[in-house]
Amino acid sequence: MRKVATVLSLLGLCLTVLPSVFVFYGLLSWNAHARLAFAGMLLWFVFAPLWMHKQTETRSAGTETR
């Protein structure tokens, strides 16, 4: 599941960045850019937290060292 989430979130990141480059070079219309960037944003914000989530360590109060 983590690998699938990674791939989908990176696909979303690409869909957010690449359409802007295509609009700059005149290869893509602004409306198509907006739709692709919106879909990419959704993919990124849904799937990126699934694989970027850090595991928290639980420590008891008496075991911390300074």
Specify if 6 maps to a domain.
Answer: yes
Q: Which domain holds residue 42?
A: 2-52
Q: Are 48 and 9 in contact (CB under 8 A)?
A: yes
Specify if 60 maps to a domain.
Answer: no
- What is the Cα–Cα distance from 18 to 8, expressed in whole angstroms? 15
Each residue's pLDDT, cut to its tens digit, for the chain (66 residues) gives: 889 989 999 999 999 999 999 999 999 999 999 999 999 999 999 998 888 876 555 555 556 565
State the total domains in the chain: 1
pTM for this predicted structure: 0.70
Determine the pLDDT at residue 2. Answer: 85
Q: Are 39 and 15 in contact (CB under 8 A)?
A: yes
